Amino acid sequence: MPFLPGVSVNGGVRHSGKSYGVGDIFVYQPSTVGDLGGSYAFTASDHAVVLRAYVQNLTDVRYWVPGSAGTSISAGAPRTITVSAQVALQPDHPGVSAAPIGGDDDGRAGHAYLELDGGGAIPHSFAAAINNRVDNTTAAPGSIRIAQKAGWDVGGVLGYDLGRFSAEIETGFKRFKNRAIDYANANVAVDAGGQGAGVYANGGGRTGVLSVLFNGLINIGDPDAATRGFVGAGAGLARVSTGQWTLDRTKAALITSANPAAAATPTYFSDDNATAFAWQGLAGVRQKLSNHVDLVIKYRYFQVPSLTLRTTNGNQLKGNLFGSGVLAGIAFEL
């Protein structure tokens, strides 16, 4: 893209027409799937760097792929996001067309950076509707509300400072535990034990959130000043894991049957993993410690707006998982 030095965009559209299996017994409907990607090439300390991102099946189309014999089918690949970074160890590598660098070696602008963060996660209550997968009975939104304790939040950022703006790829992991659970609607059971509605003060279980997001930041202040502020937002994917969410953590995790051949019944109501879209808002300050090291303090508002989790009795929880975090970190100029 000549008006954005170092930026490349690529993609394509794949279309499969209607096809028929053996004897025209099976009919496979047509499908159209789009892919989109981009890359940004720049130099950092005379080393060529390329950041790439690619999304296959951009609109998450659900489709079937017929087998070669026409008697079988397989599911088409869902939306898949790939991110990568390439760094040439040899200075002035000729294989990469990079964007020009602005600023001098003592300034922040025109440099890549690696940032390591850690701090506290302050989750808000997870409010969800309960959906019965058998008869499609759905309890109202907020039928179960899970209060969660403060936990910890760690992450790493690979970014590039353009002066007024910064672009980042961020990975993070958060973990926190449950406390009181308000189970307001027992018309749709949440666990195999069929426990009734009520407020359970001894709720238990843990939650882990692994995320990969792309951030865009607006830098506030002189790029070469000792202190700068920033605000921005990010979007990507989060992998949420529920570790034995239970209404009453004082009970045994499994109840065994008198029949030795029968499987034990779990007392926890969710022990699942789910991947969903996530976004966040960011604000913070950077304090220069040396020409190549910054201290970073940031506030993060994080949300997984549409999360679907399975329960141990075959039902579903559908709700929003969100919270805040305060982190401190060190950024190293590359």
Task: Tell me the CATH number at 119.
Answer: 2.40.160.20
Q: Which residue has the higher pLDDT, 209 or 69?
A: 209
Q: Among 34, 66, 100, where does a domain finish?
A: 100
Q: Which residue has the higher pLDDT, 28 or 194?
A: 28
Tokens read off for 190:
């949440």
Same domain for 96 and 75: yes
Same domain for 238 and 288: yes
Q: Among 83, 100, 117, where does a domain finish?
A: 100
Residue 101: per-residue pLDDT: 42
Domain that includes residue 92, residue range: 1-100
Same domain for 315 and 182: yes
Q: Is the pLDDT of residue 42 over 80?
A: no
Q: 52 Cβ partners below 8 Å, 6+ apart?
A: 37, 38, 39, 82, 83, 84, 85, 86
Same domain for 194 and 64: no
Q: Among 57, 80, 100, where does a domain finish?
A: 100
Same domain for 145 and 86: no
Highest mean pLDDT among 31-45, 179-193, 220-234, 277-291: 277-291
Q: What is the pTM of this model?
A: 0.66
Q: 28 Cβ partners below 8 Å, 6+ apart?
A: 16, 18, 19, 20, 21, 64, 65, 66, 73
Q: Is the pLDDT of residue 257 over 60?
A: yes
Same domain for 142 and 88: no
Alpha carbon distances (Å) from 185 to 149, 172, 190, 271:
23, 34, 9, 21
Q: Is the pLDDT of residue 131 over 80?
A: no
Same domain for 72 and 200: no
Same domain for 139 and 1: no
Same domain for 251 and 145: yes
Residue 121: per-residue pLDDT: 93
Q: How many domains, the chain?
A: 2
Lowest mean pLDDT segment, chosen from 153-162, 164-173, 248-257: 248-257
Same domain for 143 and 85: no
Q: Is the pLDDT of residue 39 over 50?
A: yes
Same domain for 189 and 209: yes
% of the chain exceeding 70 in pLDDT: 85
Residue 66: per-residue pLDDT: 79
Give mean pLDDT, residues 166-190: 86
Per-chain mean pLDDT for the chain: 83
Same domain for 257 and 121: yes
